[in-house]
Amino acid sequence: MPSPCRRNLLDDEIVDILPKYWHYGLVDLQHPLRSLVPSLDWAVLEVLAAAESSFGVSQIGRLSSSGSRMGHSAVLLRLVEHGLVLAEPANRGLLYRFNRNHMLAPAVLLAVGLRGQLLERLRDRVAQLAPVPVHASTFGSFARGEAGVHSDIDVLLIANSDADEIEWEPQIDTLEAQVMSWTGNRCRCLVFTVERARRLAASGELIVAKWIADGVLLAGERIASVVDDTAAASSGVRRRHSAGVATRR
C-alpha cells in the first residue's frame, strides 16, 4: 500500500508524510560523524578534520570527546593505513593530520560540518514561508551545540497575526517532515503571534530568556527586539508537535 503524501507548499515537491509508526534513524547532532562512522574512528576524525594542524596522540586525546590513548593509537594506525590520515615524524613520535586530498575526505568533512549545513537548510526553508515570519530561530540543545542522538530540533516562529499562523499550518507540517527526513531527528515548531510573544516576555516567562540567550537567528528580527514591548493583547501559546498541535489559551 503506497505511503500517504502531501503537496509541499514550500517548493511544490512531493514530501512523504510518514506514518507515525515508521522508525527513523537519528543523527547525533553534537557529533554527527558518529552516525556515519560508529566506531572510535569518528572521535579521532572529528578532531583532525576540524583543523589544518597536525597533532600527536596525546593532543588528540585531550581534544577528543571519547576514547583512550590506546584506542586512539589503534584508530590512527588503521586510518594511516587507509590513507585518510597522514603520519609525519616529529621529535617525539609521530604527528597526525587529516588527508584532505583523499577521495573520502569530502564525506568526512560533510558529516563534521552538519550543523552549519542544517542551519542553512533551515534558513532556506523558513525564508519560503508565506507570509514571511517576523522572526524565526532555532533554540534549545541544538542551538547551544549540545544536542545528542535523541534531541529534537526546536524552531521558534513569530507570526504577525493569527491569520498568518493559520496560513502557515500546512507549510510547517511540511517543514517538520523535511527536517526529520534530513536528520531522523524530530523537528518541533513553536509558533506565536507578536502579541503573544510580548505577553510572555512581560509576564517574565523563563522560556523567553532562553530564546534570547540560546537562539540562533534563521530569519527576520532578533527575538529581543520582537518582544521588547510590554503592550500585550490576547494571551496564549500554540505548541506544535510532529504528531499534532496542542494549544493553551
Supply the pTM of this predicted model.
0.70
Residue 1 one-letter amino acid: M
Contact status, residue 188 vs residue 155, Cβ threshold 8 Å: yes
Q: What are the residues whose beta carbons fall under 8 Å from the beta carbon of 204, sequence distance 6 or more?
A: none
CATH of 115-248, one of 3.30.460.10, 3.40.50.300, 3.40.50.720, 3.40.109.10: 3.30.460.10
Fold of 33-110: Arc Repressor Mutant, subunit A (1.10.10)
pLDDT tens for residues 30-69? Answer: 666 666 666 788 889 989 998 999 999 999 999 987 888 8
User: What are the residue boundaries of the structural domains of the chain, listed by start?
Assistant: 33-110, 115-248
- Longest C-alpha distance within the chain, in Å? 70
pLDDT tens for residues 157-214? Answer: 999 999 999 999 999 999 999 999 998 889 999 999 999 999 999 999 999 999 999 9
Which whole-number Å values give the CA distances from 176 to 17, 100, 185, 194, in the listed order? 10, 34, 10, 22
Euclidean distance between CA atoms 121 and 187, whole angstroms: 13
Rounded to 10°, the helix 114-126/162-183 angle is 150
